[in-house]
Structure formats: C-alpha cells, structure tokens
Chains A and B, each alone.
Chain A
Amino acid sequence: MDQSVSGDPEKTTVGIAKSETGIDGFDELTLGGLPTGRPTLVCGGAGCGKTLFASTFLIHGARALGEPGVFVTFEERPTDIVSNVASLGFALDQLVVEDKIHIEHIAIDPSEFVEIGDYDLEAIFIRLEAAVERIGAKRVVLDTIESLFAAFSNPAILRAEIRRLFDWLKERKLTTVITGERGDGAFTRQGLEEYVSDCVLLLDHRVQNQISTRRLRIVKYRGTAHGTNEYPFLIDSDGFSVLPVSALGLNHKVYDERISSGVDDLDEMLSGRGFHRGSSILISGVAGSGKSTLAASFVDAACRNGEKAAYFSFEESADQTVRNMRSVGIDLKDYIDGGRLNYFAARPTFYSLEMHLAVMLREIARLKPRIVIVDPISAFDRSGESNEVQTMLLRMVDYLKSHGVTGVFTNLTHAKGDETLTDVGLSSLMDAWILMLNREAGGEFNRELYLLKARGLQHSNQVREFIMSENGLQLRAPYLGQEGALTGSRRRAKEAEARRTEAVRAAEVARFQQQGEHRRRKLEAQIEALRAEMAAEELEARRLIDAESAYLRRAKLDEEEARAMREGVAVRKRVDGGGDGAE
C-alpha cells in the first residue's frame, strides 16, 4: 500500500536510494542506511542517544562520503555539540573549519519576546537555505525541533511551519534526521511522526534487573524490508553501533578445511585432522575439568598458525588466564602482545545479555578473528532466562557460522552424572560437543574427555583420560581390561603390571630362543661328525673296491698267461691272423 500511494515510479521499480549513516550495524540492518533525500525521525527518551545518532550520520557524510551537512541545533550550543562528539574521536570543529559541516544554532528564549499577530518561521528557512547553499549540504540534522513548541504559544502555526519545513527539505532532496523526544503513548510529544512518513526509528534505554540496555527499533521504513525486532545498540568510546543480531538463516557456507584443537591426541580422535573450520564447539564439564585450558589450546593452535583469535572471558582476566595457561605449557602472552589474540574480560553483570552479545559481535566484526572463545556461557545463567541465553547463543553461532569463524564455547555443568541433561538446549546449536568429566575412581579424581558428538566427522567413541602437565595437554586411552576402563594411577598401576608381565614373557621368549639356538648348533655339530664318519667309511669302501678290481685284473692276466703257456701255437696264430697287438 505504501508503494501504490507514492506516485514516484522510480521508487517502485528500482527501490529507494540509501544514504549511509556510518553507524556500525545500522547500515547493514537497513540495507544501506537512511532514505536519501528524505526525512527520518529518530525518537526516544532523554539520554537515549538521539543526538549522537544524528551527529554520527552527519559527520560520516561529511568525512567519508563527501556530503556536507548542516546541523541545526535548537537546544545545545554549537560548542557543546563539538565537545560532546570530541569524546568519541570526532573532530567536528575541524569539519566546521573546512566548511564540511555547518552548525546553525537556532536559540529561542520565550521570555525574550511577545507574540502579536500572525507570523511564520520563514527566518529559519532563510537561515537553513543560506547554510545549505554555503557549504553545498546534502544532509541536515534538526535537533530537536520540538523545542520550538516550548517557545511559541501558537501550535497551529508551528505545525503548519514544521510541515512546510519537511516539505521544503524533501523538495531539496536533503537527507534529514529529525530528532524527537518520546511522548506519552506517542512516539514524540508533538506527534511529529505524522509529518515524517518515510522512516521512523525508535531508540530506547531500558533497565532490567539493574542492567541497562539500549535498543533500537525501526518502526517504519518505507520501501525497505526491515526487521521489526529491537536491536541492541551501544554507545561507547567508538561511538554508536547497532548490532543486527537476528538469525540470518541457515544458509551459511560450510568448510571442509580442518583446524587443530592444539591437542594432537584430540585431533587424532577426529580421524587425525581436528575439527571443521567454522563449526561451533561446545566444551562442557564440571568445575576443574579443564574446559578453559582446552579452549586456550584451541587459541594457541590458531595463533601459532598465524590466525587471529578473540577470547571473551567472563570469569578471568587476561593476566590470570595467561598465568594459568603457562602452567600447561601454553603461552598466550606473546599472542596478546602481538595483537593476534584479543582478550576481552567482563563480568556477566556488566551488561545485559543482549549487550554482551552485541559487544561480542561488534568486536568480532571489527577484528575478524578466525576463532572465537566464549568462556563460559554458563556465566549468563544467572543474568538471564535460560531461553534467552539460548537465543543469544543461537544468534552468536549463526553470526560466527555465516562468517566462517570457529566458535568454542565452554559451559560449566553442575550436576554429577547429569551432564548431558542440562545442555540439551545447547546441543542442537553445536556441531561438536566435547564432554569433560572428572570422575572419582580408586580414591582419586581423574579428568576424562569424551567426544559426545562431532557432526560430519569420524570420531573415536572412547573416553580418554585428559592429562594436563607442563608438557602440554595429552589424551591417553584408558587401560581396558577385565576390570573395565581404568584411568589415573589405577591405569598406571595396571599398565605397569602389564609391562611387568610383558617383560617376564619377553625374557621367557628370549630364553626359549636361545635354547633353540643351542640345540640347533649341537645337532649341526653332530650332523657334521656323522658326515665326516661317513666320508671316511666311503673312502675305505672305495679303497677296498679298487683293491678288489686290481686283484681281479691281475688274476685274469695270470690266467691268460697260464693258458698261453699251455697252447703256444694257438696264441701265435691268433697273433698272426687276428692282428691282436695287445700281447
């Protein structure tokens, strides 16, 4: 309906042009900023950041986009405005000197004048026009035009003039921010919203459970699809930032790339290559089970790889963590000093839940780390409803996933043996879940680690013993035997026992082998002796055979000789006729 009313064909086909505000998050939220050439009403109670919003919009235009702006102030003096934003690092006075921003102070003291007869506010138009023309302004801020109502007694004239002013601004295609004080039951005290039909923003500052949260809501934004949620925003030394923390849907990019957990043995459990990049990893466990240490190990691995990391701690300060992690051979100090690791420590009660999320997301957007640690998420249990915590995590996880950032969340569980129950709500958000146990057996507590789930990864189903020492973190497979899986000193005892048995057996085998060798040698010697004996016997036999054959030959010759002696003729005949030359 909005679209059909406006006769502007450009608007319906191309979509409206937008002007960046330079406010972190807001431009993303509105797909580009405020409607160009149109007025936007920013309303809210006292101290909710209206003027800062307007100033940021104007300064960003002048400084970054080459769009000079006119700041019309009805309340604060120009020097106050300059000093207000100076604390946020905006050198407004410099921009004024450079004629990029013009501050027009329209001060009206009702005690100074009387009203007699008909009048209008043409002088404001003249002043505004002069200012706009002088610096070639594209942007205008009116802060707060409603204070005119306190000065003039004739609201009918004022309304007509304000309407005329808005039309005038539109006609000149000035992108305008008009601030308005929140009234009872209406957005503004004087109902300014009825004059501004294009874009209305509501800023809010609420205190709940003694924790204050600033929120921004887009009440109306013609020609732009916008969320109607309230978005938390932040005013701090970096200025004004809005955090679009709504769920972005489930269309984030997935990575096949793997990242190391910093614990080789844990990577080993995941087919030797660690977790997927961009996955969300929950480390849950009872107190003292090594959650933070394991989380720090992830950081260590990432930083060693040259990647940036962000550590959000809600329990320990940076120094404390650095010291503690040194005891397990992880030195985070260099990473912090080198700017690779950004450590943020805040008490959970410092901000509201929303605000924590907002701050975290802002820092993540600013620093672009590849891995983010939140330690622990259970710190929020007391500061919010559990479903709020879950919603917050959902947004966080969504944001991290959509940016390919690995998220590691630790969670303190209280109940013994009931670890999985309390985390049911979180489980569905997480791609991997590492359960840290601290179980008593044989009169001692031993840390154990179990990969409860790891989406899309082949992983070991074994509970491993988690050992923290100055040499780093290690996982040991427990001793598996007839008495079940054993850990700690019982494992060590059992392992020692096994080692002893093994040694005995090894000695046995060696002895057996030696005996065999002896036997073999002995038999071989015997074989050799027999062979020699046999050779001797063979020699003797040959000698006998030779002697025998020589004897036989001799005997034959002798016999032939004897026969020849008996029949001499015959022999001679045979010699003549036969040619037998042997004799």
Chain B
Amino acid sequence: MAQNETTKLILYVAGETPKSLAAIANLERICSEHLDNRYEVQVIDLKKEPRLAREHSIVAIPTLVRQLPAPIRKIIGDLSDAEKVLVSLNVKGAQ
C-alpha cells in the first residue's frame, strides 16, 4: 500500500539540548534502518525560527510530524522507542 510513497517528516527541536540531539540521532537511525530511501526529513530548530512554533502549533519539544502520507501524525518525545515510532508512523509494514 504505502510502500511506494515517500514519507515526509519534520522534526522540531529547540537548540542543541540533550533531548533534541537524542531525537535527531534516534530519527536518523530509525529512518536509515527501516525506511530505506523512501523518506525525507526536515529538522527545524525553533530557537532559530521561533515564528514556526506558532505557525505549526508546536507545543512540546521534540515533536515529529509526519506530513506525508496524509493524515498528519504527531509524535512527541525523543523517539527512544523505535518500535513505537514505526507503529505510529504506520510504516512498519515497509519491513
């Protein structure tokens, strides 16, 4: 089903805090291990672009948003549990 679709992800962080760094590392690992090349990741540092926090209605940090495929899904946290992340992103079937 969703195998040929590109998963578009945005990760919102705030500066180089341990949580932010952990989230970036975890996401990179998950993507490279499970999503092959069918993904696109954008990391937004809200410290640098605070405007976007309001525009995108971000509350918690880190927040991962799956823009595509629709519908939008949000995960908050440092993504320390890869299994859960994959379930939430609904990409586990890709394996």
Q: Is the pair A117, B53 in contact by a Cβ cutoff of 8 Å?
A: no
**B19, B50, B78, B88: which contacts A114 (Cβ < 8 A)?**
B88
Q: Does A119 contact B (CB under 8 A)?
A: yes
- CB <8 Å contact, A126 and B73: no
Q: Which of A65-109 contact B (CB under 8 A)?
A: 104, 106-108
Partner of B84, one of A108, A114, A121, A152: A114
Q: What B residues does A152 contact at CB under 8 A?
A: 60
Q: Mark A102-132, 1 if CB is under 8 A from B, else 0.
A: 0010111000111111111111101101110
What is the distance, in angstroms, from B33's C-beta to the closest C-beta of chain A? Answer: 16
Judge whether B59 and A121 touch: CB under 8 Å. Answer: yes
- Give Cα A123–Cα B79 distance, bound, in whole angstroms: 17
**Complex: how many Å from CA A389 to CA B28?**
74
Given known pairs A116-B76, A120-B19, the reply for A127 and B54 (CB within 8 Å) is yes
- Given A113-B63, A126-B46, A152-B60: A119 and B53 interface contact (C-beta under 8 Å): no
Kindly state the interface size class of chain A when it binds its partner: 20 to 34
Contacts of A116 in B (CB 8 A): 75-81, 84-85, 88
Interface members, chain B 44-95 (any A CB < 8 Å): 46-47, 50-51, 53-54, 57-63, 72-81, 84-85, 88
**Given A120-B19, A120-B60, CB of A127 within 8 Å of CB of B88:** no
Q: Is the CB of A123 within 8 A of B80?
A: no
Contact between B50 and A130 (Cβ–Cβ < 8 Å)? yes
In the complex, which residues of chain A have a beta carbon less than 8 angstroms from the beta carbon of B50? Answer: 126-127, 129-130
List chain A residues, Cβ under 8 A from B79: 116-117
- The proximity string for A residues 455-481 relative to B, scoring 1 for CB distances below 8 Å and 0 otherwise, is 000000000000000000000000000
Which of the four size classes fits the interface of chain B?
Answer: 20 to 34
CB of B95 to closest CB in A, whole Å? 18
1/0 contact string of A167-186 vs chain B (CB within 8 Å): 00000000000000000000
User: Could you tell me if B61 and A123 are in contact, using CB atoms closer than 8 angstroms?
Assistant: yes
B residues within 8 A CB of A113?
A: 63, 73-76
Secondary structure of the B contact surface, majority rule? mixed
- A118 contacts across to B, CB distance below 8 A: 19, 22, 77-78, 80
Known contacts A113-B63, A126-B46; decide if A119 and B54 are in contact (CB<8 Å). Answer: no
Distance (Å) between the CB of A328 and the closest chain B CB?
Answer: 68
- Which residues on A sit within 8 Å (CB–CB) of B85? 116
User: Could you say which residues of chain B place their CB within 8 Å of the CB of A124?
Assistant: 59
CB-defined contacts of A129 to chain B, threshold 8 Å: 50
Are B78's CB and A123's CB within 8 A?
no
Residue B14 at the chain A interface, CB threshold 8 Å = yes
**Do A104 and B54 touch across chains, with their CB atoms under 8 A apart?**
yes
Measured between beta carbons, the chain B residues less than 8 angstroms from A108 are 59
> Are A119 and B77 closer than 8 Å at their CB atoms?
yes
A106 touches B47 (CB 8 A): no
B14 and A115 within 8 A (CB)? no
Shortest Cβ gap from B71 to chain A (Å): 10
Q: How far is the CA of A530 from the CA of B26 in the complex (A)?
A: 157
Give 11 new A-B contacts, CB below 8 A, not counting A116-B88, A118-B22: A108-B59, A114-B76, A114-B84, A116-B75, A116-B80, A119-B76, A120-B60, A122-B17, A123-B58, A127-B54, A151-B59
Residues on A facing B (Cβ under 8 Å): 104, 106-108, 112-124, 126-127, 129-131, 151-152
> What are the 8 A-B residue pairs with the smallest beta carbon separation, nearest first?
A117-B77, A113-B74, A117-B80, A117-B78, A122-B61, A116-B77, A130-B50, A123-B58
